[in-house]
Structure 1
């Protein structure tokens, strides 16, 4: 019988996490986005993890960390009341439910804070993940990074209002 995988846990972001989260960010882009973005595009994107500005992005929002055996393996960050700024999972744990766990926790927190929707500017490789969770494409974007242009899609998920009597999922 195979060995059980460690169960992921959640915790809040700590300033000491910045270097590890930058590594997860860069590894995720390099490995998981390789089919959708050129090498130059991935390099320009991964360069956005410059430590000081990356630390500020993580600290400005509500950032949750997924850990396995105490080590960070993914993170999600909410900017303002309703915009998913960052969602990255280390390639070694991709497809093991880490991203889903992070997203579900953030959706609950956003809803508890009164958000009526969530938005995200989603990379081409992440679009199926968001569609499976009820997000719909709103518009296509072209983002300049250094000498490269990256495409992404702004997606939105509206929560059912309490008057509708429906529960969002």
Structure 2
């Protein structure tokens, strides 16, 4: 496995990662209605392409496939953090989180934040994030609960 920056042309593979993460993994913690609102089969691909290009994520490749991705915005916000439902518990998430911390350190970012799904909260807590607020955002008219999580970074980036 290795991490690289997003490239134009990765969008379709990243959608597969996103879709499988939600439909195969997050489905343990959310209803079918919530899953379909969050990751619909018929998502507008033009919107998806624009989103991926806008967040400019790190991607993880394994065996020639994209198996995970995550971004880090200039303000320390992690907008997307997804590991393929076909590649759980193989170190992809850890590799992405380490990359985010390294990037934050090199960019002088002092705090990481993210709106984290119920499913991913234990993973983020493992890396030192704390729940700041439980939230109930609506996606396509359906409430899909998450939590705002935060991690202050020291001068060492941890």
The two structures share one fold, judged by TM-score above 0.5: yes
Match of 2:103 in 1: 109
Which of 96, 105, 129 is residue 123 of structure 2 equivalent to? 129
Aligned partners of 2:73, 2:38: CA distance in 1, in Å? 19
TM-score under structure 1 normalisation? Answer: 0.88
Q: Is the 8 A contact 1:26 1:49 kept in 2?
A: no
Give the structure with higher Rg (CA): 1
2:58 and 2:96 in contact (8 A); partners too: yes
Q: Which runs of 5+ in 1 are unaligned?
A: 1-7
Q: Secondary structure at the match of 2:118?
A: coil
2:113–2:148 contact (8 Å) kept in structure 1: yes
Give the Å deviation of 1:117.
0.8
CA deviation map 1:14-70 (0-9, x unaligned): 120101111110111001011210001000100395322222222122411100122
Which runs of 4 or more aligned residues in structure 1 lie more than 2 Å from their structure 2 counterparts after TM superposition? Answer: 47-50
Counterpart selection for 2:9 from 8, 11, 16: 16
Structure of greater relative contact order (alpha carbons < 8 Å, 6+ residues apart): 2
Superposition RMSD in Å:
1.4
Instruction: Report the counterpart of residue 92 of structure 1 in structure 2.
Output: 86
Q: Distance in 2 between matches of 1:53 and 1:122?
A: 22
In structure 2, list runs of 5 or more residues that go unmatched. none
Specify whether residues 132 and 49 from structure 1 end up closer, same or farther in structure 2 by C-alpha distance, changes over 3 A only: farther
**Separation in structure 2 between the aligned mates of residue 113 and residue 49 of structure 1, nearest angstrom:** 33
Tell me if 1:29 matches 2:25.
no
> What is the rounded CA distance, in whole Å, between the counterparts of 1:61 and 1:114 in structure 2?
18
Map of 2:62 onto structure 1? 68
> In 1, distance between residues paired with 2:43 and 2:81?
13
> What SS does structure 2 have at the residue aligned with 1:115?
coil
Q: Which has the higher strand share?
A: 1
1:39 to 32, 37, 41: 32
